[in-house]
Amino acid sequence: MRRSLHIKLVLIMVLLIVSLMVVVGAFLMNSVTGYYIDEFYEQMLAAFGQDNVDFVRDLQTATEDEEDGAAMISAVLSLYKGVLGVDDRNRNYFVLDGVTGRCLAGSVPAPEGGVAVTANISTALLGSVGLASSVTADYMDAAIPITRGGRSYIVYILDSRETARSLNTEMFSLIMEALVLGLIISVLLSFLLAKTMVDPIQRLTRGIEEVAEGDFSRKLEVTSGDEIGQLTESFNAMAQQLEANIAELERAEQMRKDFVANVSHELRTPLTNIKSYAETLDGGVGDLPPEMEKKFLGVILNESDRMTHILQDLLTLSRFDSGRSELRLAWFPFAKAVDDTYQAILMDAQNHAHTVELRLSDGLPQVRADRERVMQVMMNIVSNAIKYTPDGGRIVLSAGQSGDRVWLEVDDNGIGIPESDRGRIFERFYRVDKARSRQSGGTGLGLSIAQEIMNQHEGGLYLVDKSEPGLTIRMELPIQGPRKENGHEG
Ligand code: ADP
């Protein structure tokens, strides 16, 4: 991976530098040539234009008895060399015959075969000023027709563009040097860049490999705030979420196994009892005293009831689990439901010599809920209070409203729940004291069902912390009923 990323980086850098240099070089060289051409024609215009009347007059005015007009013109031009930029090397002037175009004089001797007739010379031969420039030509020239002493001449300035060319050559070699230097720097830089980019990616790859092998223990270090840093952060978050999900799945799987084991165990106990009592009855009918037979039959009936009870609870839970259990929502007075529960358990409580106190806040509202299910939850927690409080105890039912919820707290001074078990009593089949629960017909499913019912109402069922002995359990209901539509108006 390192190699391919590196090669890509080098390629990008090289392409960038080369294209930059080509564009800059072409632009520079073109503007230098353009500048030289413009400068030349501006100079010519200035020299022969209106501003320089003396010069033109000197060129045109012949002295008396003048013999060689061309030599005189050449002499004048020689005086104005500076104005014309004539350096006798790259730029020269010539005086041509205005009719034949033949070279009569010049700052340097005319080239062999005479001065070549250019477009501008042709224009001047026809009597006009030739100042046209050609980008493609390798020279610049200007041809100005002059009449002196009745004869016509052409002042011809020729620039070989050598200055511009040598400047361009110089610039080209400079650009090439810069290009080579730039390439060397870019290759070095790309090494550095590749390292800063590739290292975190390699770390990330190692981390991903570890996670793929199931090791979530190591958190990847986030070393930068750039995209790779963000990727590392996202990866850490993902690994954490994955770990949590796996833990949750394992917990669910364990719970499922426990549940199956619990169901089997819960059903096996009554079945074993039924079987052994039935076998005893089957083996020795007539041998047993009738009251014993009756007692055995009583046990059998009792155990079958228990099994029915467990199976009913399991069916209820399974309906909750599969979402097939719908609430039948209706408005009813909350205080009345609490009072009904109180009345219903009063007898049972008195049988155990408990005192039961009812404390209802004034003005408790109507609530929108499944009355039958809510009553089932209330009955469950109040009968637990009766069951798990030694005879002669005290049970207090208090109900009130806080915000948009109503609540009921059932407080007893019974055996309570050890700290270590408090978190688990809403689990299915969980009982602190299996023997005591079973004795009183408990299945260990009551509170799980109660909590499911409260959750479905978007309410809650909690243990309340208290310092005195016993247990306080609190249920809460939203007055308006659940917001999510998981019920229908009953
Ligand atoms: P059970 O059918 O066994 O009563 P529940 O689900 O109603 O099952 O309760 C689960 C366990 O919580 C009980 O077995 C008991 O150990 C404990 N528990 C419930 N209510 C009380 C209470 N008021 N005081 C002490 N322990 C309680």
Is the shortest distance between the CB of 433 and ligand 1 below 6 Å? Answer: yes
| pLDDT for res 378 | 97
Q: Are residues 114 and 126 in the same domain?
A: yes
Establish if 293 belongs to a structural domain. yes
What's the rounded Cα separation, in Å, for the pair 312 and 308? 6
Mean pLDDT of 440-465: 90
| pLDDT for res 149 | 84
Is the shortest distance between the CB of 379 and ligand 1 below 6 Å? Answer: no
**pLDDT tens, position by position, 209-237:** 888 888 887 788 887 788 888 888 888 88
Establish if 106 belongs to a structural domain. yes
| pLDDT for res 407 | 97
Asked whether residue 437 carries a pLDDT value surpassing 70, the answer given is: no
Partner residues linked to 399 by β-bridges: 360, 408
User: Is the pTM of the predicted complex or chain greater than 0.75?
Assistant: no
Q: Are residues 343 and 280 in the same domain?
A: no
> Cα(240) to centroid of ligand 1, in Å?
36
Asked whether residue 472 carries a pLDDT value surpassing 90, the answer given is: yes
| pLDDT for res 446 | 92
Long-range contacts of 224-228 (CB under 8 A, 24+ apart): 224/200, 228/197, 228/200, 228/201, 228/204
Q: Are residues 336 and 314 in the same domain?
A: no
Asked whether residue 441 carries a pLDDT value surpassing 80, the answer given is: no
Per-residue confidence at 333, pLDDT binned at 50, 70, 90?
very high
Establish if 297 belongs to a structural domain. yes
Mean pLDDT of 164-189: 89
SS3 135: coil
Asked whether residue 116 carries a pLDDT value surpassing 70, the answer given is: yes
Question: How many structural domains are present in the chain?
Answer: 3
> Cα(384) to centroid of ligand 1, in Å?
6
Mean pLDDT of 370-392: 95
> Cα(391) to centroid of ligand 1, in Å?
16
Structural domain span for residue 140? 2-165
Asked whether residue 130 carries a pLDDT value surpassing 70, the answer given is: yes
Looking from the CA of residue 447, the nearest atom of ligand 1 is 6
> Cα(479) to centroid of ligand 1, in Å?
27
- The percent of residues above 70 in pLDDT, for the chain, comes to 96
> Cα(445) to centroid of ligand 1, in Å?
9
Is the shortest distance between the CB of 416 and ligand 1 below 6 Å? Answer: yes
Residue 326 near residue 293 (C-beta atoms within 8 A): no
Residue nearest to ligand 1 atom 16, measured at CA:
432
Asked whether residue 266 carries a pLDDT value surpassing 80, the answer given is: yes
Establish if 463 belongs to a structural domain. yes
Q: Are residues 13 and 56 in the same domain?
A: yes
Residue 191 near residue 40 (C-beta atoms within 8 A): no
